[in-house]
Structure 1
Amino acid sequence: MDFYLKEGGIRTRLPYGELDISGNENCGYRPFQLMVASVAGCSASVFRKVLEKKRIVIEDLHISAEVTRNPEEANRIESIELHYAVKGAHLDREKLEKTLEIARKNCSMIRTIENAVKITETLEIIKISD
């Protein structure tokens, strides 16, 4: 990846498009936002793949992330809490929790930062009738 100086930040060009990065939200994505998005996006993608392999059918998946930062240490990310809301019919909590554990073990972003950032996951099941 190559990065280029631009007014108010840095830019990179990727196959999907340009990405502007800046400490100023008016000029691009903030680095901590990209870090959290990488963790949530990777985890959700792996979770979805494992669900498909296990033939667990879901209607929808929503992930929210709560971030705790330490202003006394350059606003270092101390923890990321990922909350998964899984919607579907006939969902088994135990199977979903095991699937989430497998996803965590196979998410490269979580594995990269798990010794530096506390990552917790919670699971909510939203049942729909068939």
Structure 2
Amino acid sequence: MEFKMKQGGFTTDLAYGKLHISGDEQYGFRPYQLLTASIAVCSGGVLRKILEKKRMQVEDITIQTNVLRNEQEANRLEKVEIHFIIKGKELPETQIKKAMELTRKNCSMVQSVIPAIEVVETFEIVPAE
């Protein structure tokens, strides 16, 4: 990737489109948002594939994140909490728990940041109507 300076930040052209990055939200995505999104969506994608392979009837997955930053150390990310809301039919909690363990082991973004950043994953199951 190549990044070019622009007013208030940087930009890069990717296959999907242009990505604007800045420490100021007026000019683009903030770097910590991109890192958090990478960790969360990588985990979500791996979880989705695992659940599909297990032939579980998942209708939807919503991912909520919360980050803890350390202002004394350059506002660095210290912890990312990822909460999955999994909606589906007849989803056994034990099977979801096993899928979550596999997800952690197989998500490249999570494996890239631990142990420098603590990553905590939780889930809840919402029955489909």
Q: Residue type matched to 1:52 in 2?
A: E
**Secondary structure, counterpart of 2:58 in structure 1:** coil
Matches within 5 A, 1:101-120: 101-120=101-120
Q: Which residue of 2 aligns with 1:87?
A: 87
Amino acid at match of 2:39: V
- The CA deviation string for residues 34-60 of structure 1, in whole angstroms up to 9 with x for no partner, is 000000010000100111111111111
Q: Secondary structure at the match of 2:29?
A: coil
Could you tell me which runs of 5 or more consecutive residues in structure 1 were left unpaired when the two chains were aligned: none
Q: Where do 1:55-74 residues align within 5 Å?
A: 55-74=55-74
Gaps of 5+ in 2: none
TM-score by length of 2: 0.98
Structure 1 CA distance for aligned equivalents of residues 79 and 39 of structure 2:
12
Give a deviation string over 1:39-86, Cα, whole Å, max 9, x none: 001000010011111111111110100000001111100100100111
| Residue 128 (structure 1) shift | 2.7
Letter in structure 1 aligned against 2:66: E
| Correspondences of 1:1-130 after superposition (within 5 Å) | 1-129=1-129
Distance 1:79 1:110 in 2: 11
TM-score norm. by structure 1 comes to: 0.97
SS of alignment partner, residue 102 of structure 2:
helix
- The runs of 4+ residues in structure 1 deviating greater than 4 Å are none
Q: Secondary structure at the match of 1:73?
A: coil
Counting aligned pairs with the same residue, the percent is 47
Over residues 77-98 of structure 1, what are the superposed CA-to-partner deviations in whole Å (9 max), with x where a residue is unaligned?
Answer: 0100100111111010000010
Q: What SS does the aligned partner of 2:57 have? A: coil
Amino acid corresponding to residue 117 of structure 2 in structure 1: V
